[in-house]
Amino acid sequence: MIEAMDKLENSIWAHCSSSSVRRASRQLGQLYDDAMGLSDLRGTQFSLLTQISYLQEATQKELAKAMVMDLSALGHTLKPLIRDELVELVPDEKDRRAKRVRLTAAGRAKQADLVKNWQEAQRRFETVLGAEKSAELRRTLAFIASEDFAKAYAAAGQKGG
């Protein structure tokens, strides 16, 4: 086992930031999915319901931007929530072509019910990683998910290439 870990640590794969974040994301996603219990919702769906609630009837485009998703991926992710009547799409009053996303009463209730599950997942995460490291990780990931980081990354490519 130690030999396998040494090989991993010395591989190019171990030094790939994208691979590291994706592996951690899959692991954390599975743990938070488990924390949702018997709710029939995944952690990603709870996160989406929470973002919809926070943004208060954002357009699909605004929601996709906040979630760092493209519109087609957002549409795919919203389908089961719409089917289960947790979310609804309503025409924008000013631009009828745009659709706004809002929680239904059932969606608000489901999101509120799952907050305790999420809080427990957060508590366990911070118990293992520590409150300070957890906060620093969230700040770092928020920066990586930002437009500023994407712009700086693109600029670094232009300078290096």
Task: Calculate the alpha carbon distances from 94 to 54, 61, 71, 97, 149 in Å.
Answer: 21, 15, 20, 9, 32
Contacts of residue 16, Cβ cutoff 8 Å, sequence gap at least 6: none
The total of other beta-carbon atoms located within 10 Å of residue 121's CB is 19
CATH fold of the domain at 2-144: Arc Repressor Mutant, subunit A (1.10.10)
Query: In percent, how much of the chain has pLDDT > 70?
Result: 90
Give the pLDDT confidence score for residue 13 in this predicted structure.
64
- Note the pLDDT tens digit of each residue in 50-105: 999 999 999 999 999 999 999 999 999 999 999 999 999 999 888 888 899 999 99
Which run of H or of E encompasses 88?
strand 87-91
As a whole number of Å, the CA-based R_g of the chain is 19
Q: What is the model's pLDDT at position 7?
A: 64
Taking 60 as the threshold, does the pLDDT of residue 31 lie above it? yes
Whether 1 has a pLDDT exceeding 60, the answer reads no
**Whether the predicted pLDDT of 148 surpasses 80:** yes
Neighbours of 43 (CB within 10 A): 20
Cβ neighbours, 10 Å, residue 124? 13
Average pLDDT, the chain: 90
pLDDT reading at 3 higher than 80: no
Judge whether residue 130 has pLDDT over 60. Answer: yes
pLDDT surpassing 60 at residue 146? yes
What pairing do the DSSP bridges indicate for beta strands 99-103 and 87-91? antiparallel
Confidence of residue 161 (pLDDT cuts 50, 70, 90): low
pLDDT given for residue 44 in this prediction: 86
Delimit the domains of the chain by residue range. Answer: 2-144
Q: What's the pLDDT at 101?
A: 97
Judge whether residue 34 has pLDDT over 70: yes
